[in-house]
């Protein structure tokens, strides 16, 4: 199971999301045994969690960048006030 998590952790958001869509399609197909369904469901949960972490990381980076830009603009206005 650890190696499965390592593989998921190494995936990009786009690759994780694409695999998650594949897992969902297979589960919705209804052609799987109970054991296969449970295994795919577990994989899907790990993929969804990984995608969520990737999105959280991206949101944090964007917030930090916007904050840095706002700080630079404020500093610039202090140095060069208009008017």
The continuous run of DSSP H or E covering 22 comes out as helix 13-29
Q: What residue numbers bound the domain in which 30 lies?
A: 2-79
User: What pLDDT sits at residue 75?
Assistant: 80
User: What pLDDT sits at residue 2?
Assistant: 62
Q: Give whole-number Cα distances, 62 to 24, 31, 46, 66, in Å.
A: 30, 42, 24, 6
CB-CB contact of 45 with 18 (8 Å)? no
User: What pLDDT sits at residue 76?
Assistant: 77
User: What pLDDT sits at residue 73?
Assistant: 84
User: What pLDDT sits at residue 8?
Assistant: 94
- What CATH number does the domain containing 20 carry? 1.10.287
Q: Which residue has the tokens 């060069």?
A: 80
Residue stretches of the chain with pLDDT short of 70: 1-2, 82-83
User: What pLDDT sits at residue 83?
Assistant: 56
User: What pLDDT sits at residue 13?
Assistant: 97
- Total tally of structural domains belonging to the chain: 1
DSSP state of 82: -
């Amino acid at each position: 199971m650890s190696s499965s998590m390592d593989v998921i952790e190494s995936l990009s958001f786009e690759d994780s999301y694409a695999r998650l869509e594949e897992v969902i399609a297979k589960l919705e197909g209804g052609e799987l045994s109970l054991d296969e369904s449970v295994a795919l469901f577990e994989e899907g949960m790990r993929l969804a969690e990984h995608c969520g972490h990737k999105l959280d990381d991206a949101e944090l980076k964007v917030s930090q960048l916007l904050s840095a830009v706002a700080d630079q603009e404020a500093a610039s206005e202090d140095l060069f006030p208009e008017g």
